[in-house]
Structure 1
Amino acid sequence: MGWEGVQLGGFFGIAQPIRHTEPQKIDHLFILPSSQTSQPSIRRKLKMATVVPSKTRKGTRSAACNASALSSLCCFLLIVTITIFASDGNAEGLRPAFACDARDARTKGWGFCGTNLGIAERVSDLIGRLTLQEKVRLLVNNAAEVARLGIKGYEWWSEALHGVSNVGPGTKFGGEFPAATSFPQVITTAAAFNASLWEEIGRVVSDEGRAMYNGGLGGLTYWSPNVNIFRDPRWGRGQETPGEDPVLAGKYAASYVRGLQGNLDGGRLKVAACCKHFTAYDLDNWSGVDRFHFNAKVSRQDIEDTFDVPFRSCVKEGKVASVMCSYNQVNGIPTCADPQLLRHTIRGAWRLDGYIVSDCDSVGVLYDNQHYTSTPEEAAADAIKAGLDLDCGPFLGLHTERAVQLGLLKEADINSALANTLTVQMRLGMFDGEPSKQPFGNLGPHHVCTHSHQRLALEAARQGIVLLKNHGPSLPLSPRRHRTLAVIGPNSNVTATMIGNYAGVACGYTTPLQGIGRFAKTIHQQGCAGVACSSEELFGGAIDAARQADATILVMGLDQSIEAEFRDRAGLLLPGHQQQLVTRVAAASKGPTILVLMSGGPVDVSFAKNDARIGAILWVGYPGQAGGAAIADVLFGTHNPGT
């Protein structure tokens, strides 16, 4: 039977937003409430509200909010507020952040509110009205309000790596927006080699992002995508990237950014994307070296031919509105304080029309961890003069005014930084008055988790699956010949694992077990108590299941406990006793054995390639909310992974 030989009526893998506390069954998709997944229903975030520094002396540590500073508090008083974001909260009464409300009579006298004027003129007018203190408070991600000018506070940090996410404090789920479409992790969709798919995903994500902004639950500045080169396969964040190929990463960057931002007339933006993390960053925490102390020693040729390629494409082809500098140093200079990288390359050679932002607390890191400057004021001055416009973190808010007073920095330098951020906000329409009367003001709850969006999530997962081996051939399976399937493995019935990191709350899930269950009767055994697979205690049940079934599907691999931000791997083998489980189950199976690998980074499965008892191997990455449906479609031939 060919790949196209099985056709099923109806569409599977479509969910509705999570609104109930009990499992529901909708269109053959079981939806679990968030409390039954690894996505917490209530997310508690500690957000730096105020940092009051004690007196500092040369060589002492500042208040950068990084891992080491938080652990010791570094002689600072941290006034911390706890913000609770509940997934079933009430969003009624929330308003999006915008300025120049027509109901405020004062706006008629403010040039920056004049939509008949050019954006540059409006930005200049606004900057001219701000005091130095007000300007400094606008240099950080949680920008303060300027009440006397009708400007609300704004949180710049939102994420949309592969769907609208609540990882950043600028976006939260609740009320009429309990979830958003969660597409496959980037490493998976990149494997589709389909630029139109990437752009369409970006368009859908920005539709949902604009809808959440209109509902008062989201921002318009998304610090995505991650287009770093995945050079070291052990890197925990490689899953977030398009992979190791600079050309592919560049094509992905430009396509996804175009989809997000909308390519509107007059330079207007639907949302503002951000390509990160510039540059030569592919280590988080490995063998005693972490990203806060990592110095990437890279030749000029390697920078230009490899590491910078996706960023150049992002800026020049994608017309991205922002670039983020990284924690690490490149050849001894912190990226966020390197004028060659920021001012001369990004803004000069590539002509960035937008702002440059630091990775969170990177400015503090270059002083605290890397000891690049003697004082925090020097660190603030170096970063701004190098070309940094916005600090994710409190550092510039704490030390920039004093840097001006010491003569390390001119107020004109701050004005230049603000001009770049304010220009992006005006291109987004945030100074044009009531959002409902602006382009995209009609987008709302009914434009999130739609059937068409979820169909695209399924299609993206299908296209990203890679067939690594098919001996015999063993695939596709036949519902007539393979009536009973043993479905085994620690990833065989997972939900949140399928969406990887930097994800939000998915509309719903189809697990591998549920997807396969559409085609055949299943016998399910986990085999391992989690992907760490630290013992063989559950092997017996898995082996018995394989002996009874017409075919065996092993869903193995990794999850965020093995590879993640600040969690690099020591090697490339399957964790714990997974290899032993695969080998023993394959030996016992009375029918074909199929190995399905769920992972972001590569896994060495040469043992399975060389084992004749394992007929086929699929790599599925982290396939998103509809991953189980996509896996089943490939296994049973309703989708050909070669197309």
Structure 2
Amino acid sequence: MAKTPRLVLYIYLTFAFCVIYTDAATPSNFTYVCDPARYAQLGLDIKSLPFCDKKLSYEVRARDFVRQLTLYEKVRQLGNRAYGVPRLGVPEYQWWSEALHGLSNVGPGTFFDNSIPHATSYPTPILTTASFNKSLWNTIGKAVSTEARALHNLGHAGLTFWSPTINVARDPRWGRIIETPGEDPFVVGTYAANYVRGLQDVEGTESNTYDDLNSRPLKVSACCKHFTAYDVDNWKGIERYSFDARVTEQDLVETFNRPFQMCVQDGDVSSVMCSYNRVNGIPACANHKLLKETIRQDWNLHGYIVSDCDSVEVMIKDHKWLNVDNETAVSYTLQAGMDLDCGGYYTDYVENAVKLGKVGEGDVDKSLQYLYVVLMRLGIFDGQPQYNSLGINDVCTRAHIELAGEAAREGIVLLKNDNGVLPLATKKNEILAVVGPHANASDAMIGNYAFDPRNKGSPCRYRSPLNGFSSYGSVNYTAGCSSVKCSDGNMIGEAVDAARTADATIIVAGIDLSIEAEGLDRLDILLPGKQTDLINQVADAAKGPVVLVIMSAGGVDISFAKSNPKIHAILWAGYPGAEGGQAIADVVFGKYNPGGRLPLTWYQADYVDKIPLTSLQLRPDDSKGYPGRTYKFFDGPTVFPYGYGLSYTKFNYALKAAPSKLPTKLSKFQHCRDLPYKNGTIKPSCPAVLIDDLRCNKKFKLNIEVKNAGNRDGDEVVLVYSQPPLGIIGTHIKQLIKFQRVSVAAGKSKLVDFAINICQGLGIVDSNGNTVLPSGSHTIIVGNRQIVHSIQLTYR
């Protein structure tokens, strides 16, 4: 969201600015720019306009359109509100829409009213990621884009969605973890690629069928954000608008940039958004190396680069970078490769910047060509007939609502289950005490980037925890706290009384957007207020088994509950979406066997005292007493580790096939590179080779048998890590290189086959940011060390 009144005004004036290429609010009347009948009505000769000639490539057509514009007309297309060119029959377009976990009216490009009041709301990405189910991520993207097309046909949405958020969640205090796919850059990038392909891909036109990806049609256009090293919002008065992210090239390549590279190269995303912060002194949106060299040239983006909203204004007024004026600022960002301004600075100042000689008109033309190629790929100029029939009946469908529930069930993580107390048995006349500040949650379950409370719109329906548990028995409900901040204990007694007489007690606690949110970082990682008192007192008084459910994005130190024998089971439910309450109840009562895994490390509370949020380094620094960050670099005690999650059944692993040696012959053009080793370590004669010098087309197979040794069907997430040869200084402890979720019936087995690219699976990033493949004994670790296997890589 933007910070200035200009962009806030855009949200309030949705109806004025949300201009969609339709002539009426019914699918049957859907039209497009280059409709001959439309041009006839406008009194314009379509044959005189090459940009409407379908025999030409999109790039040629976009270039023709741009070259027909005056400079004034050009700059009026460079903001999120593109004003159109009436004399050429090209209407306005609003670029800014959001679809983080379902359609949202946060951006002015999508709106709801009495005719279309709802859209399907899925769990927030942090919980969906916990499923570790790539096909689920893709399926949700497809469902969201179908609803987007339906709303577009009805005049309620554009086709460009600035989602997903794919910043790595390196610290539990960051307020926007709710939007992210967690702390592992490989998982974040895999999520990005799959969700983006779900949003963008038109069936039968996947990228491998096109030589020129700029000609590939799009269902909708996605945008991976916020590039890069962005994960400080507002911590102890330090705001994202003025924060300078000081980060090494090693950490940029290895952690912060990797998901974006995967989003561009594996997901073929059509847009990337640059972030508010500076990166090593230079605003991200004015950083030529990051935008033009890295995204555009090295990764070969097929699309456009957009600013976070009002980033140019932030650069001038908050960063005060180089004390530049408005015209100089827009010239820097345009030349750096920022094509579209979410805001009004390009619209207001680029024309004068060109006239003053600060930026060339050719730079303007190039950005406009990127933008209009994307609009043409979306069918805005030529139509996408296969989607014309979509309408109100394709929004909030039964299948979409069930998918939202399934996503929540797959993501929920079982953290504790003493003596197999879960699943609870359904008994006649059983009384359930459902207590806690989230026990009757609705809006809290859907998190942010869903439905702006200032505008109309809501999920298809809500299923709160109270609703969900009421389907399994008689419920005695009391909140115990007036809000998650639980500032006083006046209501705790009511919850204690309810637990004393209940056959089972479910406590639904945690945090919400008043604690962690965009613009709001946490200072601690404890439950707020008197929630701990509420939980302990209820557990102490309870007659029957006690189940604690935590809603949060970032981890919470609940060591007290983990060690309390009177709290028999713990579930983490993230922010589970509009169907989340039913999903939680289904897991508790065994209708669904949980298989989710934590996508974040849950640290102990004193972690936040050891390192400031503003330190972006990942590796530990003994001289400062800094611990490492994420499971890749932190080896201290945790409440729950990354990838942790229990099941109602038991799975056993057996390694069926894996190589023990990987000999590699080097040519005269492939040279050995040195690596630093700890004292006492025997250094190989050829420590490593630069991956750019290797062909990297060699793969090795890893075959794992997963056996369900219990008496319940269930899902298992197989996590495969690699560990570099011992003794190399400054590398990771281990890194996730493959994962797969598999369903295995009770008593049955499944063989999971992995084909692992040697460079991707065993490579490391050295201190200079070079990706190298080290020789020596690499270790493959499956799960929580259920399988440990060594592979000797040698060069000769």
Aligned partner of 1:261: which letter?
A: Q
Q: Distance in 2 between matches of 1:438 and 1:252?
A: 29
3-state secondary structure, aligned to 2:225: strand
Q: Which residue of 2 aligns with 1:418?
A: 368
3-state secondary structure, aligned to 2:548: strand
Deviation per CA, 1:14-61: give whole Å up to 9, x if none. xxxxxxxxxxxxxxxxxxxxxxxxxxxxxxx9xxxxxxxxxxxxxxxx
Q: Which residue of 2 aligns with 1:385?
A: 335
Q: Which residue of 1 aligns with 2:522?
A: 569
Deviation per CA, 1:397-430: give whole Å up to 9, x if none. 1111111111110100000000100000000011
1:486 aligns with 2:425: no
**How far is 1:563 from its partner?**
1.1
Aligned partner of 1:188: which letter?
A: L
Q: Distance in 2 between matches of 1:335 and 1:420?
A: 20
1:443 aligns with 2:380: no
Q: Distance in 2 between matches of 1:530 and 1:553?
A: 17
Q: Distance in 2 between matches of 1:80 and 1:238?
A: 26
Aligned partner of 2:34: which letter?
A: C
Q: Which residue of 1 aligns with 2:780?
A: none
The structure showing larger relative contact order (alpha-carbon pairs under 8 Å, at least 6 residues apart) is 1
Deviation per CA, 1:343-392: give whole Å up to 9, x if none. 00000100000000000001111111111142111100000000010000
Q: 5+ unaligned residues in a row in structure 2: which ranges?
A: 17-21, 206-214, 452-457, 596-714, 716-796
Deviation per CA, 1:85-108: give whole Å up to 9, x if none. 79xxxx994487842232213222
Q: Distance in 2 between matches of 1:80 and 1:164?
A: 18
Q: 5+ unaligned residues in a row in structure 1: which ranges?
A: 1-44, 46-64
Q: Which residue of 2 aligns with 1:14?
A: none
Q: Distance in 1 between matches of 2:11 and 2:257?
A: 38
Q: Distance in 2 between matches of 1:553 and 1:81?
A: 39
Q: Which residue of 1 aligns with 2:13?
A: 83
1:299 aligns with 2:248: yes
Aligned residues of 1:229 and 1:243 also touching (Cα < 8 A): yes
Aligned partner of 1:66: which letter?
A: K
Q: Which residue of 2 aligns with 1:531?
A: 484
Q: Which residue of 2 aligns with 1:581?
A: 534
1:326 aligns with 2:256: no
Q: Which residue of 1 aligns with 2:325?
A: 375
Which runs of structure 2 are paired with 1:96-495 in the superposition (5 Å)? 98-103=32-37, 104-105=39-40, 106-263=45-202, 265=205, 266-373=215-322, 374-432=324-382, 435=383, 438-480=385-427, 483-495=430-442
**How far is 1:84 from its partner?**
6.3
Which runs of structure 2 are paired with 1:606-617 in the superposition (5 Å)? 606-617=559-570
Aligned residues of 2:14 and 2:109 also touching (Cα < 8 A): no
Aligned partner of 2:408: which letter?
A: A
Distance change in 2, residues 1:463/1:309 (3 Å): same
Aligned residues of 1:596 and 1:617 also touching (Cα < 8 A): yes
Distance change in 2, residues 1:626/1:80 (3 Å): closer
Q: Which residue of 1 aligns with 2:544?
A: 591
Q: Distance in 2 between matches of 1:355 and 1:163?
A: 23
Aligned partner of 1:337: which letter?
A: A
1:66 aligns with 2:13: no
* TM-score between the two structures when normalised by the length of structure 1: 0.85
Q: Which residue of 2 aligns with 1:496?
A: 443
Q: Distance in 1 between matches of 2:249 and 2:475?
A: 55
Aligned residues of 2:62 and 2:372 also touching (Cα < 8 A): yes
Aligned residues of 2:233 and 2:521 also touching (Cα < 8 A): yes
Aligned residues of 1:487 and 1:522 also touching (Cα < 8 A): yes
3-state secondary structure, aligned to 1:207: helix
Aligned residues of 2:269 and 2:303 also touching (Cα < 8 A): yes
Q: Distance in 1 between matches of 2:158 and 2:320?
A: 34
* TM-score between the two structures when normalised by the length of structure 2: 0.69
Distance change in 2, residues 1:80/1:245 (3 Å): closer
**How far is 1:174 from its partner?**
2.1
Distance change in 2, residues 1:343/1:80 (3 Å): closer
More strand by share: 2
Q: Which residue of 1 aligns with 2:512?
A: 559
Aligned partner of 2:169: which letter?
A: F
Deviation per CA, 1:162-183: give whole Å up to 9, x if none. 0011110000012442111100
Aligned partner of 1:411: which letter?
A: E
**How far is 1:117 from its partner?**
1.5
Q: Distance in 1 between matches of 2:23 and 2:373?
A: 30
Q: Distance in 1 between matches of 2:241 and 2:127?
A: 28
Q: Does 371-380 or 217-226 show the bigger shift?
A: 371-380
Q: Distance in 1 between matches of 2:413 and 2:257?
A: 27
Deviation per CA, 1:244-284: give whole Å up to 9, x if none. 11011010000000000015535000000000000011111
Q: Which residue of 1 aligns with 2:665?
A: none
Q: Which residue of 1 aligns with 2:497?
A: 544
Distance change in 2, residues 1:330/1:510 (3 Å): same
Aligned partner of 1:219: which letter?
A: G
Aligned partner of 1:516: which letter?
A: F
Q: Distance in 2 between matches of 1:424 and 1:559?
A: 37
Q: Distance in 1 between matches of 2:287 and 2:591?
A: 52
Q: Which residue of 1 aligns with 2:468?
A: 515
**How far is 1:116 from its partner?**
1.9
3-state secondary structure, aligned to 1:614: coil
Q: Distance in 1 between matches of 2:422 and 2:10?
A: 56
**How far is 1:520 from its partner?**
1.0
Aligned partner of 2:135: which letter?
A: S
Aligned partner of 2:284: which letter?
A: T
Q: Distance in 1 between matches of 2:177 and 2:580?
A: 19
**How far is 1:83 from its partner?**
2.3
Aligned partner of 1:501: which letter?
A: N
**How far is 1:145 from its partner?**
2.1
3-state secondary structure, aligned to 1:503: coil
3-state secondary structure, aligned to 1:487: strand
Q: Distance in 2 between matches of 1:430 and 1:92?
A: 13
Distance change in 2, residues 1:368/1:129 (3 Å): same
3-state secondary structure, aligned to 1:486: strand
Distance change in 2, residues 1:82/1:524 (3 Å): closer
Aligned residues of 1:92 and 1:175 also touching (Cα < 8 A): no
**How far is 1:540 from its partner?**
1.1
| Greater C-alpha Rg | 2
Alignment RMSD: 1.9
Aligned partner of 1:273: which letter?
A: A
Q: Distance in 2 between matches of 1:261 and 1:637?
A: 36
**How far is 1:469 from its partner?**
0.6
Q: Distance in 1 between matches of 2:484 and 2:196?
A: 34
Aligned partner of 2:577: which letter?
A: G
3-state secondary structure, aligned to 1:439: helix
Aligned partner of 2:123: which letter?
A: P
**How far is 1:314 from its partner?**
0.3
Deviation per CA, 1:96-146: give whole Å up to 9, x if none. 784223221322221111112211111111011100001001110011021
Distance change in 2, residues 1:614/1:80 (3 Å): closer
Q: Does 259-268 or 496-505 show the bigger shift?
A: 259-268
